[in-house]
Amino acid sequence: MIGAPAVLLVSLLVGLTLPTVVALALVAAFIGGFVYLVAKMPREPRDPYDDGARV
């Protein structure tokens, strides 16, 4: 999820012009990764006594 925005940012800073298909594919990969992460989030709330620590 970090790779696509990083490539777009580096190409912008360096002044490299990406082909339109590549730029659209990178944007689609970023959006697809975000949608995947949101879809995998648990639907039920966490245990209220859970502070997140794991042993």
pLDDT top residue among 44 and 29: 29
Residue 1 has pLDDT above 70, yes or no: no
Q: What is the domain range of residue 26?
A: 3-40
| Count of the separate structural domains present in the chain | 1
pTM exceeds cut of 0.85: no
Question: Residue 30 domain-assigned?
Answer: yes
The stretch 46-50 carries a mean pLDDT of 73
Q: What is the pLDDT of residue 14?
A: 97
**Shortest CA distance to 20 belongs to which of 9, 31, 8?**
8
**How does pLDDT run across 4-39, given as a tens digit for each residue?**
999 999 999 999 999 999 999 999 999 999 999 999
| Residue 53 maps to a domain | no
Instruction: Please report the pLDDT score of residue 48 as a whole number.
Output: 74
